[in-house]
Amino acid sequence: MNYKNMKKLITLILFLSATPLFACTNIMVTKGASSDSATYLVYLNDGEWLYHLNTTPAADHRPGDSLKYRSLSGKTFKIHQVPHTYAIVGFQINEHQLAIGETTFTGRRALWDKDKPLKYWDLMRLALLRAKTAREAIKVMTGLVEQYGYGSEGESFSIADPNEAWLLEMIGTGGKGGAIWVARRVPDGMITAHANHARIGTFPLNDPENCLYSGNVISFAVEKGWYDPQQGEPFEFNNVYDPPTPAHLKYTETRVWSIFRRAAPSQEFSPSYHRGVPGAKRYPLFIKPDKKLSLRDIFSLVRDHYEGTAFDMTAIPEGGPFGNPNRPRPLEWKTDTAVYSWERPISTYNTAFSFVAQLRNYLPDEIGGIMWFGEDDTYTNCYFPVYCSVTAIPEPFKTGDIRAYSRESAWWAFNFAANFANGRYRDMVKDIRKVQQEMEALFVSRQDSVEQIALSKDKAGRIEFLTEYTNQTGLQLHKRWVELGDYLVTKYNDGYVKDEKGHIKANPYPKEWVDFVIKNNPEKYKTGNEKLQ
């Protein structure tokens, strides 16, 4: 991450920490649960900021080299450098097909030590620079916080390579040094998801092949009086370090429920837990999907406003006449007598970016690892392939300023189309998703032939070829989305909708909305039997 991006991320984190807002949703799919035997990691970075995607080349370092880090409280620290660091794309994936994502669960705020240097995004970047596999990444991250301390709130990390997927959950010690953490390997053939709530409950203490944890994970809780082994109850990491409230479950576990219900509808997951019903059964940490998931199946899992359920955000009256699922922040508000909140969907208009990492052990690393990258809201975005070996990023995806609209910026192109659709959402989103599906189908259909060409070259040739392909694809996508924005402005104008021949047509409110208005106030709009001209 370059300096400008780091400053933006720090500003975002400081904003989030000062407000009752959590962000991000993650999914991991093991190779045995995917139709192409790839491991998948999905990361939605939800926050109002404009991210510049970038690359960092591999590098060698001299003995005694160090890195400077500043804690959230302003203290400066030196962190030791390693002899060699790997090439990375953003802070998401490296040249060895190692990918990392995260969601913040905060947990017990007293354990957040802002004097410690390493924040969660520092750990993600350092792990990608220093590790080849998910297990190595866990070792790097936990070793660093043991040596230097952990300076963020509670965090769930998704960590995946072509062979394994791991969930690492970490929280600070409130100034005592080190960190408290536990990591579980996702069993092959299974998937998992997390969304701003710690998901690891009980865990095996004698299975290092599948579970790793800090030596203080239980003893610290006993010392604090948060867990009493004498009561005979099993130790549960999430209940101890991230004790849930009904409001927190609604905000977080509804997203996990919706991912699981669509990946495995046969299991009929109940909404009771995410509605905070006392005694309701928690959702499993891992589930087996009803069928093996394809790349495009995984894209669809993060495009959701709970449509078709009791929590459908497009429904009348909350969705308005045109079924708009987007709710202005804050999602929670108070009256004199109660606290209320809108649903928090998986697809949200303030997603900065998201990616789907596709990791394949049957291809050379420079071809096998892809970060399918998308800007803005997942429901209206479009994923295009960024191979993990690329040495450059398409210009529109590394430019732009959130304070100034620019057609040259991919973030702004996607943001413009999505925001313009708010005026007549149900109609305009169909036009957007038509282009979305066409472009993604094109990119996926090209994948095999592109990779066959890459395989015919030596490693240097592969990297050069895939960098150019990524660049051309990104430019093509940006151009198409600028055109889409222009099309929407032209087609939907002044309350009218132009048909395919450009003829202006009056399109009234949907009948169900008009019926709702009349039902709730039958006399207000009545004018008699005269026909208006």
Residues 6+ apart with CB under 8 A from 250: 274, 275, 276, 341, 343, 344
Same domain, 398 and 286: no
Last residue of a domain, one of 304, 328, 363: 304
Q: Which residues pair with 56 in a beta bridge?
A: 88
Are 396 and 263 part of one and the same domain?
A: no
Q: Is residue 195 part of a domain?
A: yes
Is residue 375 situated within a structural domain? no
- Number of domains comprising the chain: 2
Task: Kindly state whether residue 334 falls inside one of the protein's structural domains.
Answer: no
Question: What is the DSSP code (8-state) at residue 95?
Answer: T
Same domain flag for 294 and 419: no
Residue 323 lies in a domain: no
Sign of CA dihedral 111, 273, 188, 372: negative
Q: Residue 364 is encoded by which pair of tokens? A: 């050379």
> Is position 222 within any domain?
yes
Residues 57 and 173 in one domain: yes
pLDDT by residue for the chain (533 residues), tens only, comes to 444 554 455 444 444 433 334 579 999 999 999 999 999 999 999 999 999 999 999 999 999 999 999 999 999 999 999 999 999 999 999 999 999 999 999 999 999 999 999 999 999 999 999 999 999 999 999 999 999 999 999 999 999 999 999 999 999 999 999 999 999 999 999 999 999 999 999 999 999 999 999 999 999 999 999 999 999 999 999 999 999 999 999 999 999 999 999 999 999 999 999 999 999 999 999 999 999 999 999 999 999 999 999 999 999 999 999 999 999 989 999 999 999 999 999 999 999 999 999 999 999 999 999 999 999 999 999 999 999 999 999 999 999 999 999 999 999 999 999 999 999 999 999 999 999 999 999 999 999 999 999 999 999 999 999 999 999 999 999 999 999 999 999 999 999 999 988 899 998 999 999 999 999 999 999 887 666 55
The verdict on 394 and 285 lying in the same domain is no
Q: Are residues 256 and 391 in the same domain?
A: no
Within a domain: 319? no
Distance CA 1, CA 3 (A): 7
Q: Is residue 341 part of a domain?
A: no
- 404 and 297 in a single domain? The answer is no
- Which tokens is 139 given? 């070792």
For residues 282 and 399, state if they share a domain.
no
Whether residue 428 is found in the same domain as residue 287: no
278 and 143, same domain (yes or no): yes
Question: What is d(CA 90, CA 101) in angstroms, rounded to the nearest whole number?
Answer: 12
Other C-beta atoms within 10 Å of 268: how many? 7
**E strands within 71-174?**
76-80, 84-85, 88-89, 93-94, 99-106, 154-160, 165-171
Domain extent at residue 298 = 3-304
